[in-house]
């Protein structure tokens, strides 16, 4: 009996943690620059699990049954930054921005996003700095993009003639969404089919949650020595809403 009482408390804590990360929120880490400038390499953020309802991917390791519908399901909004399981490899978790919803026609023309035949407005927003794999940074043009419905968000754009800057119109099928990275020239997203190493159209079932807040950020790529370690905390990004 004494052993069972001793075991009950940690078991209860573990159960509460599983329930919390399944139904309420879950932390994630950003290892790449595909969502710059919105999310930077080294950001740790929280994703809310309940805005879109729940699927098997809301559970640890995707242990639930597969289904075309979500429990308490709700459609994401255009412009939401979402966490989802990769359609090509569900073991991989990705974060991108929702650009297209079921029935939308999505195209790219000379680097400009076109939704349902209308070119999405872009407003120059000065220069940003994109981070390279070695930790160095280089200047890049930053714009503010305004999606249908009024959602405005920043993007990085290096050129208008890159390999992802031209795409004929594709229709988002029922039960799917079209996702893109904000770092438009450095994101394998729904513009690239799964068979070519991209994301393709994402099933709603694969949604995990909506990114809501950066809780911490650390520029580990530039922490070259022990004396540099403390200085690489990006305090300005702590508790930064997404």
- Which residues are catalytic, by number? 34, 96
Structural contact between residues 83 and 94, judged by C-beta atoms closer than 8 angstroms: yes
- β-bridge mates for residue 145, sequence order: 122, 153
CA 123 to chain centre: 23
- β-bridge mates for residue 135, sequence order: none
Structural contact between residues 192 and 198, judged by C-beta atoms closer than 8 angstroms: yes
Say if strands 137-146 and 152-157 run parallel, antiparallel, or are unpaired. antiparallel
For residue 37, whether the previous peptide bond is cis, meaning omega lies within 30 degrees of 0, is yes
Helix (H) or strand (E) holding 95: strand 93-100
Structural contact between residues 134 and 113, judged by C-beta atoms closer than 8 angstroms: no
Q: Is 100 helix (H, G, I), strand (E, B) or coil?
A: strand
Structure tokens at 143: 């714009």
Helix (H) or strand (E) holding 17: helix 2-23
User: Which residues touch 15 (CB under 8 Å, ≥6 apart)?
Assistant: none
């Amino acid at each position: 009996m004494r052993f069972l009482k001793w075991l009950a408390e940690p078991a209860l804590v573990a159960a509460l943690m599983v329930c919390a990360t399944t139904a309420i929120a879950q932390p994630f880490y950003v290892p790449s620059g595909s969502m710059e400038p919105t999310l930077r390499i080294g950001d740790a953020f929280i994703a809310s699990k309940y805005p879109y309802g729940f699927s098997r991917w809301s559970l640890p390791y995707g242990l639930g049954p597969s289904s075309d519908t979500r429990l308490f399901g709700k459609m994401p909004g255009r412009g939401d930054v979402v966490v989802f399981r990769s359609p090509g490899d569900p073991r991989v978790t990705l974060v991108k921005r929702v650009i297209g919803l079921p029935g939308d026609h999505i195209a790219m023309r000379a680097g400009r996003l076109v939704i349902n035949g209308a070119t999405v407005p872009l407003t120059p927003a000065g220069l940003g700095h994109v981070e390279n794999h070695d930790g160095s940074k280089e200047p890049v043009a930053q714009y503010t993009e305004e999606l249908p419905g009024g959602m405005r968000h920043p993007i990085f754009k290096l050129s208008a003639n890159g390999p992802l800057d031209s795409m004929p119109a594709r229709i988002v099928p029922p039960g799917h969404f079209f996702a893109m990275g904000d770092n438009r020239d450095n994101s394998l997203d729904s513009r690239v089919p799964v068979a070519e190493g991209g994301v393709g159209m994402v099933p709603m079932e694969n949604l995990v949650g909506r990114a809501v807040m950066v809780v911490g950020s650390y520029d580990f790529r530039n922490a070259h020595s022990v004396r540099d370690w403390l200085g690489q905390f990006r305090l300005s990004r702590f508790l930064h809403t997404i």
